[in-house]
Chain A
């Protein structure tokens, strides 16, 4: 065992006699856990392999550039373009992120710094519960409860913030339900717990002396948060947001229930109609024929690559910022 490697010449002691027996049980144990660890690698490999195997013919048929840029999906002609859906996916995720990041940062600060100690336990539980509730529940709640209220906010936004291109309407009597905006707001509720919990972990790593120092120098609580906690946790917060973004990209059922599906990217986010790759796969897969299933596999491949890359980068950023926090 490595801790017994005392073969340093400076140590003028007789080398301890290590009796190392590798028994059968030890071998079985090591084998089992290594095999389990391999399972994860095999799953990722199989995912990539099967998606490429089943999806590549559809991509070749459409042409890679067409596949990624066009937004025409004609199953009978074998044309599968997900360009519009890629933009739609990112757009919904972006709406979700812009609602969820302020909310999550507020929530993380609330739990860590502001809330009375007694209710902290309740708050952590509530955030965990938000993460545990199924996306289907979010979906039907969004459709039947939130949608009515949110469409009024959408009306208000289009009336008063129409200067922002995203909030413009194509015509004044456009329908404001089943929109990318409402889908994004619901997805925001779903990614809030993950951003909150990662941001909390990072904020918890700020050395308490720095915070107390700031307060002792006469800073207000917000001054302390702004000059100590936020700069210290910046990397972690960015990583947490990216993590939430990755989740939002892959969100399926809630988006499929709430948003009225369209292949084209809809830059009028308040209006009815938007699309995401996950909801395309979910809604079309059941009645699709063999050829179209290939196209859906290709779309799944695009989604997988996108979310995997985002999660990977996000985890890397979070891990780096935690490592940095460990050194300070």
Chain B
């Protein structure tokens, strides 16, 4: 039997222990909370940043992001070396992976914060009451005024029509899939699932071929394209929500002699109400942001058009797209404010959805 120091050095090299290995009798320090204490992290992070800054000046790099990337890689290396020294390579790998997992969380959160801050910062420049009370009818590309009245009206009408059709269809389809479980439910479920990945532009193409090529651009055509896109997403979420309603609700109602439609209308749907509202709000939020299908079906205009059934109609997304593509500074500023309005609308809907679903879950727990 070798001495304890021998064993620990061997363990560092060889991690392929078998179950009957005598070395397993010796307790191993896994140092579980290595990363919880800041001292273990602070040194590697500081030295990682130092190495990166040094490399940046010595090797003459450019750019914040590459510096950050190198700093992160160097810090990881230091974490690994540092922990290995104290507790062996198994723990060292664990520490590095923990750091990587935290890093990917930070990257995702960082990206979303960056995006929101950037859009709001750029967009607030032109934000004001007149932006919402004017359209672009008599506004030249470089004129200071102009607004999104026509686009907001277009967005509201198109998404409103789309929601009116798609929400009942989606909820009823979900009921068919989970409550009725008819003959075609397997097929429908697979088609719905595959349709959630339908490229938005394809729905625009279909509506164009079906309607626009013969009858001209209109807001209602855009609404049809949005309906095609909303049905699968809302159906899928709605079915998932129906699945969370416990079976004894249904059994209780059936045992009392209720018919199936009464069970659905009086028991299942009320119980699922908050979840269904959340699903539809998120579906609407998605429809508000669609650009490609709207462009192919409603085209977009400069002037106000309140009638969704005739003639091209604007939409916030086509507005932003047109202004961005024009390429001059004034129009791009206008586009940013349009983008900000879009983001704020999505954020409001999103927060509302969260609010409804959290209220629903708390009342269910009661």
**26 contacting pairs across A/B (C-beta < 8 A):** A29-B261, A32-B172, A33-B172, A34-B184, A37-B177, A39-B169, A40-B235, A41-B187, A46-B210, A114-B101, A126-B112, A127-B108, A136-B339, A137-B339, A143-B324, A144-B118, A149-B63, A149-B64, A189-B111, A220-B32, A221-B98, A250-B201, A285-B295, A293-B213, A308-B194, A312-B190
The 4 lowest CB-CB distance pairs between A and B, nearest first, are A134-B289, A250-B199, A106-B104, A152-B63
Q: Are A156 and B61 in contact (CB under 8 A)?
A: yes
Q: Is A228 an interface residue (CB 8 A)?
A: no
Given contacts A25-B261, A126-B112, A145-B115, contact A311 B205 (CB under 8 A): no
Given contacts A50-B210, A125-B354, A134-B288, contact A41 B339 (CB under 8 A): no
Number of interface residues of B (CB under 8 A): 101
In the complex, chain A residues 14-73 whose Cβ is within 8 Å of any chain B Cβ: 21, 23, 25-26, 28-30, 32-41, 43-44, 46-47, 50-51, 53-54
Given contacts A25-B261, A43-B228, A252-B200, contact A134 B173 (CB under 8 A): no
Q: Are A47 and B259 in contact (CB under 8 A)?
A: no
Q: Are A110 and B101 in contact (CB under 8 A)?
A: yes
B210 contacts which chain A residues (CB < 8 A)? 46, 50
A231 contacts which chain B residues (CB < 8 A)? none
Q: Are B190 and A315 in contact (CB under 8 A)?
A: yes
Which A residues have a C-beta under 8 Å from some C-beta of B? 21, 23, 25-26, 28-30, 32-41, 43-44, 46-47, 50-51, 53-54, 102-103, 105-107, 109-111, 113-115, 123, 125-130, 132-138, 140-141, 143-145, 149-150, 152-153, 155-156, 189, 192, 196, 218, 220-223, 225, 243, 246-247, 249-253, 256-257, 278, 281-282, 285-286, 293, 296-297, 300, 303-304, 307-308, 310-312, 314-316
User: For the complex, what is the distance from the CA of A310 to the CA of B260, rounded to whole Å?
Assistant: 37
Q: What does DSSP make chain A's interface, helix, strand, loop or mixed?
A: helix
In the complex, chain B residues 7-34 whose Cβ is within 8 Å of any chain A Cβ: 28, 30, 32
User: For the complex, what is the distance from the CA of A127 to the CA of B169, rounded to whole Å?
Assistant: 27
A44 contacts which chain B residues (CB < 8 A)? 191, 195
User: For the complex, what is the distance from the CA of A68 to the CA of B243, rounded to whole Å?
Assistant: 43
Q: Give B104's nearest chain A residue, CB to CB.
A: A106
Among B74-82, B88-96, B146-154, the one that faces the other chain is B88-96
Given contacts A145-B118, A308-B198, contact A221 B104 (CB under 8 A): no
User: For the complex, what is the distance from the CA of A141 to the CA of B112, rounded to whole Å?
Assistant: 11
* A39-B231, A50-B206, A134-B289 known, 8 other contacts, Cβ within 8 Å: A29-B264, A47-B203, A54-B209, A134-B346, A243-B197, A252-B201, A303-B199, A316-B190
Q: Are A40 and B282 in contact (CB under 8 A)?
A: no
Question: Within the complex, which residue of B177, B197, B336, B347 is in contact with A311, where a contact is CB–CB below 8 Å?
Answer: B197
A225 contacts which chain B residues (CB < 8 A)? 97
Question: Within the complex, which residue of B188, B198, B228, B349 is in contact with A37, where a contact is CB–CB below 8 Å?
Answer: B188
Q: Give A296's nearest chain B residue, CB to CB.
A: B205
B342 contacts which chain A residues (CB < 8 A)? 134, 136-137
Q: Give A48's nearest chain B residue, CB to CB.
A: B206
B290 contacts which chain A residues (CB < 8 A)? 134
In the complex, chain B residues 341-366 whose Cβ is within 8 Å of any chain A Cβ: 342-343, 346-347, 349-350, 354
Question: Within the complex, which residue of B30, B91, B350 is in contact with A128, where a contact is CB–CB below 8 Å?
Answer: B350
The smallest C-beta distance from B194 to any residue of chain A, in angstroms, reads: 4
A125 contacts which chain B residues (CB < 8 A)? 354
Given contacts A43-B228, A252-B292, contact A297 B209 (CB under 8 A): yes
- Per-residue A-contact encoding for B186-221, CB less than 8 Å = 1, 0 else: 011011111111111111011011100100000000
B199 contacts which chain A residues (CB < 8 A)? 249-252, 278, 303-304, 307
Q: Are B101 and A40 in contact (CB under 8 A)?
A: no
